[in-house]
Chain A
Amino acid sequence: RKEVEQDPGPFNVPEGATVAFNCTYSNSASQSFFWYRQDCRKEPKLLMSVYSSGNEDGRFTAQLNRASQYISLLIRDSKLSDSATYLCVVNNAGGTSYGKLTFGQGTILTVHP
């Protein structure tokens, strides 16, 4: 089983749609959680951290369920510029002396007119 698993995608949605991405992780000692966005042939960029209480940043809402080891990202009112690969990321610093990011394989989102 992979340490971080994401919906395989790809997702192809019209502008204005709401889209949700799901992710599960296997290391219960994981400390921190993120969604990164990666545009084609570019580096990953931090979209948002994910907290147990849930957090929102504009059109983006992230949720974490530690009991189920489940992370989600909801994008409302999709824009063409949201087209990218979305990476679920876990920092496995728990139980070790260092932080190590473990990435899911990524889910490709294409928003069309």
Chain B
Amino acid sequence: ETGVTQSPTHLIKTRGQQVTLRCSSQSGHNTVSWYQQALGQGPQFIFQYYREEENGRGNFPPRFSGLQFPNYSSELNVNALELDDSALYLCASSTGQGTYGYTFGSGTRLTVV
């Protein structure tokens, strides 16, 4: 069984640039969520995709956007990067509403300078 894979593992960008992070969900999982984890904090919910549609969003500005593809893989796009966007970005997949928990990828560590 293939777990959740994310790419790239590390990334350095400059303020104002745009970034795309990628995620392949675990086999059999049709729901993908994205989380932002700042140092010393718990992960914060960005948004969730189910069957290629966004069906939930946390308190993040519109410059955070995403996509889910027919194979349930997903992208997170962040425009106009700010220094505070530096964080670990985690992708998690589940079946349905995640009643039995989510499986997380190892994350992409984004540094904005």
Binding site for B on A (CB under 8 A): 4, 31-32, 34, 41-46, 49, 87, 91, 93, 96-106
Q: Decide: A100 and B56 in contact? CB cutoff 8 A.
A: yes
Taking Cβ atoms with an 8 Å cutoff, the residues of B that contact A are: 31, 33, 35, 40-45, 48, 50, 55-56, 58, 88, 90, 92, 94, 96-107, 109
CB pair B98–A93 under 8 Å, yes or no, is yes
Bound Cα distance A30, B35 (Å): 19
Q: Which A residues touch B42, using CB under 8 A?
A: 4, 87, 103-106
Question: A-B pairs with the 6 shortest C-beta distances?
Answer: A103-B42, A99-B97, A98-B56, A99-B98, A43-B104, A93-B97
Most chain A CB within a 10 A radius of its CB, from B56, B88, B109: B56
Interface contact B90-A49, CB-CB below 8 Å:
no
Which residues of chain B are within 8 angstroms of A98 by Cβ–Cβ distance? 31, 48, 50, 55-56, 97
Closest-CB distance, B64 to chain A (whole angstroms): 15
Whether B90 contacts A44 by the Cβ 8 Å rule is yes
Report A-chain residues with C-beta under 8 Å of the C-beta of B96.
99
